[in-house]
Amino acid sequence: MALFALLLLGFFAEVAVLVAVGNAIGGLWMIALLLLGTLVGLSLVRRQGAQTMAAFSETVWKRRQPHQEMADGVLIAAAGALIMVPGFLSDAVALFLLFPPTRRLVSRRIARKAEAAALKFEHERRFGAGQVVEGQVADVDAGPVIITERRELT
C-alpha cells in the first residue's frame, strides 16, 4: 500500500512539474526538452550499461563475486525505465542512479535492507513467528496436578 501511495504521489508531482514548466517555457519547448532528455539519458544508460557489463566480465574472469556489478546493472536498468517515463522528476532520479557514487550509495543501502530482511526471514524460519504461550511445567510422574488459576488464551 505504501508503494502505491508513493507511486501516486510521484505521478501527481510529475504532472505538477510538467504543468509548471509548460506554463513557463511553452508546451512545444517542454516537449522538445523531454525528448532531448530522453535521448541524452538513453545514451548515458547505454554507456553506463556497457561499462558495467565490462566490469562484470572482468570480475567474473578474476573469479570474484560480482555483487556490486550486478547491483549496478539493476540500478542502471531502473534508470533506463525512469528515463523512458516522460517527466522531469523521473529524469532527475534516473540521472541520480546513473551517477556512479550515488549509485553505490543506493546499492549499499538496498544491500543492508536486504540483508536485514534475510536475517529476519531466517530467524522466523528457524524459530517460528514468535508467538509465546505462557504455561506451567507439569511433572506427570509426581501424581495429579491441581491447577489453581486458569487463564484463557487470547
- Classify burial at 56, counting beta carbons within 10 Å of its beta carbon; exposed 0-12, middle 13-18, buried 19 or more: middle
Q: What is the pLDDT of residues 60-102, one digit of tens each?
A: 999 999 888 999 999 999 999 999 999 999 999 999 999 999 9
Task: Answer with the residue of higher pLDDT: 144 or 13.
Answer: 13
Euclidean distance between CA atoms 20 and 30, whole angstroms: 10
User: What are 61-70's contacts with CB under 8 Å, separation 24+?
Assistant: 67/111, 68/104, 68/107
- Answering whether pTM is above 0.85, one says no
For the chain, give every domain's residue range.
34-114
